[in-house]
Amino acid sequence: MAKTALQFRHNGRDVAIFVDGGTNLLAALRELIGDMTPKFGCGQGGCGACSVLIDGELHLSCLTLAETVAGRSVETLDSLKDGPNLHPLQRAFADNFAAQCGYCTPGMLMAAKALLDRNPQPSRTEVIEAISGNICRCTGYEPIINAVLAAASGGRARA
Amino acid sequence: MLELRKDIFADERDDNLKEIGKGTQRQDMLGHVTGTSTYFDDHKLQGMLHLKVVRSTHPHARLRRIDTSDAERSAGVRRIIRGSDVPRNLNTLLSLINFGKDDEPSLAVDKVRYKGEPIVAIVADSPREAYEAMAKVRIDYEPLPAVFDVEDALKPGAPVVNETYPKNAFIYHDVYDHQKLRFGDVERGLAAADHVLEQRYQMSPIEHAPTETNGSIAAPDTNGRYIVYTSTQALFFSLDTCAKILDVPSNTFHFIGGTVGGGFGGKVDTLTEPLAILGATLTGRPVRYVLGREEEMQFGSPRGAERIYIKDGVMRDGRIVARKIRALFDSGAYTRLSSYAAVKCAAHLPGPYTIPNVHGDVYCVFTNRTPATAMRGFGVTAMDFAIECQMDKLAHLVGMDPMEFRILNAYRDGDMKAHRREAKNCALIECVQVAAEKAKWPIREEFKRASSRKDGGGSRAAISPTPRESYAPATAPSQQRTTYDRAPAAAREPPPPPPPPPPRPQAPSHGAARFSSVFGTRRR
C-alpha cells in the first residue's frame, strides 16, 4: 500500500513518519510515534479519551486524518509536564482525586488545558461545558470540575 | 489470635493504620495525571500481529459451512483460527470452582446462539488487513427460531438455546432448575393479610461501557512461556481459564495487568486472552486482540436483564406478613456468571426486612441474547430496585409514610432471617433515620426513637412452620442435540432421580471453600 510522508511538530519536536492512506492521528501518535498518552475509547468521537491539541485547538485524534496535521503542531498530555515538574492542572487533578481508573484523564487534561489557555478564569458552568465531550465512566465528574477550577485559581496565584 | 513477630518486621511498615478522616493519595495517581500508567494496549511489541474476529450475524443459527479459503489468501493474513484449533473448545467460567457445566465454545463450530458470537479469528499483519480478510470469510447460516424472553424460554417447546441445558434453565447441584427459598407458609400469610399487592418489574441489560474496551496482547516468551498484557479485572482467574481452554499448565503464562481502564464487572469474563494466546502460539509472534466499541457493546457481556414478580401481604398497621418472589435472570446464551447472580439474589431475599413468611424462586434462564455477567452488585441490584419500589407502593396502600414503613419492617438485631440465620449488627433503621434527617423528611417521634438494637428477637426470632412441598420429577427434556469438536462426553447426563436426600456437596477443592456459603458447600 502506498504510504505518504508526513511531517509535523509533536510536543515541540519535529517528527516525520510514513502513513497509510486513511490512518487517523490517534493511530499515528500511538503506533508510529510511540506516544501512548492519547487513548482509544470508541473510535467514533464519542468519548474524548483521544483528545489532543492541534495548533492549540482541541481535537479528537481518532476522527482526525493524520495527513491533515502536516506542518501543524500537535500537543498531547506528554507535553504538559515541565521536566520533572507537574503542570498546575496535573497537580490539581492529583490533589483533588480527579482520576480513578485514569483512562479518561489524558483527554480530560487536554480539554481542560484548551479551556484555561483561552479562558484562564472560567466559571463552573464553563468548566462543565469544556469537558462535556469527555466521558468518565467511573463518573468522577465533580472532582474533575473542582480540579480544573482549583488549577485556574492556583495558576493565577502563582503567576 | 495469630501473634505476629513484629520485631522481625519492625523496619518494614508503620503499624499506624489510622487512615479514616485523612486524605490519602492513590499510588497510581502520578501515572494517571502524566499519562504514563501502562494499560495493556500501551505495549508496542516488535512484530506484533493483530487479531480480529468474524462474528455471528444471527441470534440463533446452525452453521452449515464456514469457508475461509479466500480469507486465507488475503494480503497480510498470517493465520485463520477455527473452533477445531482450540484445544478445549468448551468452557464455563466458574468451572474453576466446580460450579456449572462447560457450555460455551471459544469459537462456534456447529451453531451460534447470539448475535456477535465469535466464529472465526483472523491474525494479520495490520488491523486493516485483518478487516479485509474478514470480509472474505463466507458463512452459510441456517437460521433457527430464537427466543429472547425469559418466560417464553421456559415454556414447553421453546427453542433450545444451549444444549448443555436443554430446558433453558441453569441446573444447580445437578438437579434443581432454580434457587429456592422457603420460610414459613406464604400462602397462609397472604390469605391472612389485609391487603395483597402483586407487581411485575423488569430491568433491561446494562452495558458497563468502560472507556477502555476489553483486550489483551499475548507474546511468546522464552522457555515456551507467554507474556500476556491484559485488561482483565481478574488476573489469576483469567490465567487459569486460559490454561484450561488451551490445555496447558497455568505456569505457561505470565499475566501482566492491574491497570484497568474501567471495568465495573465487564472485564472478568476472559473474553480475549485465550484467542490472543492461541494466535501467538500458532504464529510465534506477539498477537493483539482488542475489542472495538461496537464489539464491546455486542459481544462484551452486560449486566443481565431480570424479570421479577413480587406478591406481598401487608396488614393495616403496616406489617408485611408474607412476601412471594419469582425472579427470572436472563443469562443470555451462556452461563458466564449469571448462575452465581441467581444464588446471590436468593440469598438476598426478602430484602432487609423481617417477614415471617417468605417464598422465593430464582431462575437463571438461557435466551438468544448476549451472555450476561458481573456488574456492581449483580444479582442484588435489580431485586433491590423491585423490592424498594414495592415498599413504596405498600406504604401508599396502607397509608403510611414510606420512611416510617421501612423502619417498622426493618431487621432488628436478634430477628430471624428467612435463611434461618440470626440478624446481627443491623443498621437499616439508623440509615433511614439519617436519610430522613438529611432530606429534611419529617418522621414521627416513635420512629426517630426506633433502634436496630431494641425490639428485635423474641417472637421475631421464630421460624414459622414451613410446609414441605411435593417435588415434581423433571420430565425428559426434548433435546435438540448438537456436537462439538472436542466436547467432553460427560457433559449431558440425564438428571438423577428426584430428591430427597439433597445431593452431598463435593469435597471442596481449592478455592471452593471461599465461596462455600453461596455454593452450598458448607464450611464449618
Strand segments (E) across B43-137: 49-55, 61-67, 77-81, 111-112, 118-124
Residues B246-287: tens digit of each pLDDT:
999 999 999 999 999 999 999 999 999 999 999 999 999 999
Pick from A47, A81, A99: which is nearest to B29 by CB? Answer: A99
Contact call for B293 and A43, based on CB within 8 A: yes
Interface of B with A in 34-53 (CB under 8 A): 34-39, 41-42, 44
Q: How many interface pairs between A and B have CB atoms less than 8 angstroms apart? A: 90
Query: What pLDDT was estimated at residue B19?
Result: 81
Instruction: Grade residue B171 by pLDDT with cuts at 50, 70 and 90.
Output: very high
Handedness of CA B225, B228, B232, B233 (dihedral sign): positive
Instruction: Grade residue A155 by pLDDT with cuts at 50, 70 and 90.
Output: low
In chain B, what percentage of residues exceed pLDDT 70? 87
Contact call for A39 and B39, based on CB within 8 A: yes
Q: Could you give the dihedral angle defined by the CA atoms of residues B423, B427, B428 and B433, in that order, rounded to the nearest 10 degrees?
A: 150
Q: Mean pLDDT across chain B, nearest whole number?
A: 90
Angle between helical axes of B381-397 and B402-409 (0-180°, round to 10) = 110
Cβ-based contacts of B39 with chain A (< 8 Å): 39, 103
Instruction: Grade residue B517 by pLDDT with cuts at 50, 70 and 90.
Output: very low
Contact call for A76 and B259, based on CB within 8 A: no
- Report yes or no: B446 at the A interface, CB cutoff 8 Å: no
Instruction: Grade residue B22 by pLDDT with cuts at 50, 70 and 90.
Output: confident
Pick from A36, A44, A86: which is nearest to B293 by CB? Answer: A44
Contact call for B261 and A106, based on CB within 8 A: no
CB A129 within 8 A of CB A71: no
3-state secondary structure chain A: CCEEEEEEEECCEEEEEEEECCCEHHHHHHHHHCCCCCCCCCCCCCCCCCEEEECCEEEEHHHCEHHHHCCCEEECHHHCCECCECCHHHHHHHHCCCCCCCCCHHHHHHHHHHHHHHCCCCCHHHHHHHCCCCCCCCCCHHHHHHHHHHHHHHHHHHC
Contact call for A49 and B211, based on CB within 8 A: yes
Q: Is the ipTM of this complex over 0.85?
A: yes
Instruction: Grade residue B373 by pLDDT with cuts at 50, 70 and 90.
Output: very high
Interface of B with A in 96-135 (CB under 8 A): 128
Whether residue B463 has pLDDT greater than 50: yes
Q: Cis peptide before B350, with omega less than 30 degrees from 0?
A: yes
In chain A, what percentage of residues exceed pLDDT 90? 91
Residues A27-82: tens digit of each pLDDT:
999 999 999 999 999 999 999 999 999 999 999 999 999 999 999 999 999 999 99
Contact call for A39 and B212, based on CB within 8 A: yes
Mean per-residue pLDDT, B422-447: 97
Pick from B33, B211, B264: which is nearest to A86 by CB? Answer: B33
Chain A residues whose C-beta is within 8 A of a chain B C-beta are 20, 22, 30-31, 34, 36-37, 39-44, 46-47, 49, 76-78, 80-81, 86, 90-91, 93-94, 97, 99, 101-106, 109, 135-138
Query: Nearest residue of B to residue A91 by CA position?
Result: B33
Query: Which amino acid is located at A53 in the chain?
Result: L
Query: What pLDDT was estimated at residue B458?
Result: 93
Q: Which residue has the cell 432471617?
A: B417
Contact call for B26 and A99, based on CB within 8 A: yes
Q: Mean pLDDT across chain A, nearest whole number?
A: 94
Pick from A31, A81, A136: which is nearest to B34 by CB? Answer: A81
Whether residue B487 has pLDDT greater than 80: no
Instruction: Grade residue B4 by pLDDT with cuts at 50, 70 and 90.
Output: low
Whether residue B499 has pLDDT greater than 60: no
Whether residue B478 has pLDDT greater than 50: no
Query: What pLDDT was estimated at residue B329?
Result: 98
Q: Could you give the dihedral angle defined by the CA atoms of residues B153, B158, B159 and B162, in that order, rounded to the nearest 10 degrees?
A: 50
Q: To the nearest whole angstrom, how far is the Cα of A140 from the nearest Cα of chain B?
A: 12
Query: What pLDDT was estimated at residue B505?
Result: 46
SS3 B322: strand
Query: What pLDDT was estimated at residue B1?
Result: 58
Residues B196-238: tens digit of each pLDDT:
999 999 999 999 999 999 999 999 998 999 999 999 999 999 9
Query: What pLDDT was estimated at residue B256?
Result: 97
Contact call for B263 and A101, based on CB within 8 A: yes
CB neighbourhood size of B125 (10 A): 16
With 0-12 / 13-18 / 19 or more C-beta atoms within 10 angstroms meaning exposed / middle / buried, residue B477 is middle
Query: What pLDDT was estimated at residue A34?
Result: 96
Instruction: Grade residue B523 by pLDDT with cuts at 50, 70 and 90.
Output: very low
Pick from B211, B264, B290: which is nearest to A104 by CB? Answer: B211
Contact call for B261 and A102, based on CB within 8 A: yes
Query: What pLDDT was estimated at residue B313?
Result: 98
Instruction: Grade residue B21 by pLDDT with cuts at 50, 70 and 90.
Output: confident
Q: To the nearest whole angstrom, how far is the Cα of B39 from the nearest Cα of chain A?
A: 8
Instruction: Grade residue A2 by pLDDT with cuts at 50, 70 and 90.
Output: confident
Contact call for A102 and B31, based on CB within 8 A: yes
